[in-house]
Structure 1
């Protein structure tokens, strides 16, 4: 019971962070690994995604009701994200992702430095492309980050947000709303694969799903109320925290 309470609380906080800007894996995955240290990484990933998909889907629905989304481009992005995530999850079942740990904090540091240097980045919603070009770019983002999410995962939502802002010209609010659709797709594809391999604890995932949705509801309301500037600020904080956590795991943990 104590173990379930700990991971349920972590899932609620993860849902809150994910709904605003992504990065909930920073909270939930380390909690799962700490509470269940002997479990297979794929099983913990499956249980994590079994909870997170409910929060991201709820956030996507809430955003879609209040934010105008670029549905044609996002349709291609979602389809590509499904394929990429399925492939990444399959890779996770046969290859240990430990080799990515040293590169991740360096990539995140570059993203943070760029965001801080470009003070107007993501404050105005001014999509750069239309039609096929936007769809191709959205699909490329979905395929690449989808594979990453299925295989490794931490910071997926933040990567989606940054690329939608930097490459497609969205503001942080529209980028976060779009990222929720993509993240729901990546969670779904990876979850199907992991379930087929038996890598999920249903009782743990069910409890975490409830608190994840509650956290997601609160986070979505805050983001919609305060707009792109607020989401940008949270993005900077979350990426900074991800750098600290992933850097510690990669270079300092024994």
Structure 2
């Protein structure tokens, strides 16, 4: 038990730091939990424990960002509400939806995102000063619902998808995009918890230390991101995409 607790704290801290800084904490946390927790632990329980920690870390990182950065609340709030509902539906569909089909789709999406970010050197480097248009507001609702459902049913890469959407389709710099994505990601994590917690899929003896470690990592990760600025986040984003591409490709290969 002591060894399990130690690994939970290490994984939780690193996942929280990584997720707050560039996203993709689930890439480290979910596989880590499957390896650390007992082999007879059900998939919904593993995901439930992970969601408690993810919510803790993401909420902390979001608070760190929005205190110091301007985010488009007028679009984010309704998008977050839709994302909440979609994430809840996604979490309820975990037992029925063949999530293995998500991996090849996500591999293609990540490859496209990496190629686009690599070739477009100025992507996410310019701070936007203009207000969102009505069309952009509507697209925000669509993306919120779509990515919210994905987060509820599968999860890994949600923060990266949100950040890329805000950079590519809204012209935000990586720092503002990361902050905006965290607002929606916090909502989707909470929505998933409204399914996992009442359903009895959370073992609190594992979830609490993992969440506290995730929270600590979230604080440090957000501060590192804000100090490093958009240039550092662009490089970190591409490194994260490489890791995710490798992860999904490995899962498909084996």
Q: TM-score, structure 2 length as denominator?
A: 0.95
Structure 2 distance, partners of 1:244, 1:162, is: 19
Can you list the C-alpha shifts for 1:159-194, whole angstroms capped at 9, x where unaligned?
A: 000011011111100000011111100000011111
1:16-95 equivalence runs, <5 A: 16-36=17-37, 37-95=39-97
1:167-182 equivalence runs, <5 A: 167-182=169-184
Cα–Cα, structure 1 residues 138 and 3, in superposed 2: closer, same or farther, change >3 Å?
Answer: same
Q: In the alignment, what sits opposite 1:151? A: 153
| Deviation at residue 138 of structure 1 after TM alignment | 1.5
| Deviation at residue 110 of structure 1 after TM alignment | 1.1
* More off after superposition, 226-235 vs 99-108: 99-108
| Deviation at residue 131 of structure 1 after TM alignment | 4.7
Pairing partner for 1:121 from 96, 104, 123: 123
User: What is the RMSD of the two structures over their aligned residues, measured on CA atoms?
Assistant: 1.3
Q: In the alignment, what sits opposite 2:144? A: 142
Gaps of 5+ in 2: none
Structure 1 distance, partners of 2:77, 2:136, is: 11
Can you list the C-alpha shifts for 1:21-51, whole angstroms capped at 9, x where unaligned?
A: 2100111000011123332111111100101
Q: In the alignment, what sits opposite 1:243? A: 245
Cα–Cα, structure 1 residues 128 and 108, in superposed 2: closer, same or farther, change >3 Å?
Answer: farther
Secondary structure of the residue aligned to 2:67 is: helix
Structure 2 distance, partners of 1:200, 1:236, is: 33
Structure 2 distance, partners of 1:30, 1:211, is: 17
Can you list the C-alpha shifts for 1:96-144, whole angstroms capped at 9, x where unaligned?
A: 4122122222211111011101111110122676253232122111101
Structure 2 distance, partners of 1:4, 1:149, is: 26
Contact 1:76–1:136 (CA under 8 A) maintained in structure 2: no
Structure 2 distance, partners of 1:79, 1:127, is: 25
Q: In the alignment, what sits opposite 2:109? A: 107
Secondary structure of the residue aligned to 1:120 is: coil
Structure 2 distance, partners of 1:87, 1:129, is: 32
Can you list the C-alpha shifts for 1:53-107, whole angstroms capped at 9, x where unaligned?
A: 0111011111111101111011121111101101110111333412212222221
Structure 2 distance, partners of 1:228, 1:125, is: 9
Q: TM-score, structure 1 length as denominator?
A: 0.95
Secondary structure of the residue aligned to 2:176 is: helix
Structure 1 distance, partners of 2:216, 2:97, is: 34
* Alignment size in residue pairs: 252
Structure 2 distance, partners of 1:52, 1:224, is: 20
